[in-house]
Structures are given as C-alpha cells and as structure tokens.
Amino acid sequence: MPIHENGFLSKDMIGWIQKHRTEHRDYFLLCVDLNRFFHKMLYAPPVEIDNQDRQQLLVASLSLRALSTFQAVILLSERGLTAEVKILLRSLLEVLFRACAIAKDERRKSSCFLSSARSCERRSSLSGSFMLTPLSSRGYASHG
C-alpha cells in the first residue's frame, strides 16, 4: 500500500511515524507520560461515581472524552496531520473548559451543558461572534 495510492492509511506510514517520533522524541515522550498519568487518574484505583449526581456524571464523561481526544491528537501528530491536530486541540480545550466549569460550579450542571445540542449550538453561535471581531477592537495589541 504505497503512500501515493493510500495516503495516510498506507502501510508505508510506519516509517514516517518512526522518523517523526524520533525527530520529536521529547514531545512524544511527554505525551506518553501524560497519557499514562490520566489513565492512572481515571482507572487506578477505579473512581467511584454516583450515577445520581449529574455533576459527577458530566465531569467523568467529559474526562473520558478529553482523554480519547488527547490520544487522537497523538495519533494524528505522529502522522503529520497538523491541520487536523489543531482542530482536535481546540475541541480538547473546549471539553476541558466545560469539565472545569462544571466541576467548580454545581449550578452550571443545569445550564447549557445539559440542554439539547441544538440549543447549545445556537447559544455558541451567538456568543461565538466575539471571535469574529478583530483583536485590536477587543483591547489586544496587534502583532502586525
């Protein structure tokens, strides 16, 4: 399965992955260590979750989503899919922000996090317009 026929799904990618992991050894070792740390935190000893406590359920499920997204970032990084890695990193940050907000403030468990996806999308698109304004108009200096 040559790369020019199968792209990133090619068996020839194994060589690229090994080369890329060697060139960026320190970063990949850090990612492996972080992955192990998060697995220990989530699975050893098993975390007891009260299935009647929505806050615990949300934080636990978001934590698992963060872990799998982090692992996807590693897999895509070693293959050189940088645009896709950036997309997943943004997704990872959004999951972490939500998990932290819910963990810190019990009242948030009944806000946008529990409402329907469509409702959340509408709210996000309205508040997301902030991202469309230039940095200079938000009080940030431009780096010309």
Q: What confidence score (pLDDT) does residue 23 get? A: 94
Q: For the residues 69-82, what does the mean pLDDT come to?
A: 94
Asked if residue 14 has pLDDT above 60, the reply is: yes
Q: What confidence score (pLDDT) does residue 139 get? A: 47
Asked if residue 120 has pLDDT above 60, the reply is: no
DSSP 115: S
What's the predicted TM-score (pTM) here?
Answer: 0.69
142: left (phi over 0), alpha (psi -120 to 50) or beta: beta
Domain-embedded: residue 143: no
Q: How many domains does the chain have?
A: 1
Domain extent at residue 64:
3-115
Domain-embedded: residue 56: yes
Asked if residue 17 has pLDDT above 70, the reply is: yes
Angle 107-108-111 (CA atoms, 0-180°, nearest 5)?
Answer: 110
Q: What confidence score (pLDDT) does residue 104 get? A: 83
Handedness of CA 21, 23, 27, 33 (dihedral sign): positive
Q: 46-55 pLDDT, tens per residue?
A: 778 888 888 8
Handedness of CA 59, 60, 64, 67 (dihedral sign): positive
Handedness of CA 41, 46, 50, 51 (dihedral sign): positive
Asked if residue 111 has pLDDT above 70, the reply is: no
Q: What confidence score (pLDDT) does residue 133 get? A: 40
Domain-embedded: residue 12: yes
Domain-embedded: residue 121: no
CA proximity to 35, closest of 91, 92, 97:
92
Q: What confidence score (pLDDT) does residue 132 get? A: 38
Domain-embedded: residue 131: no
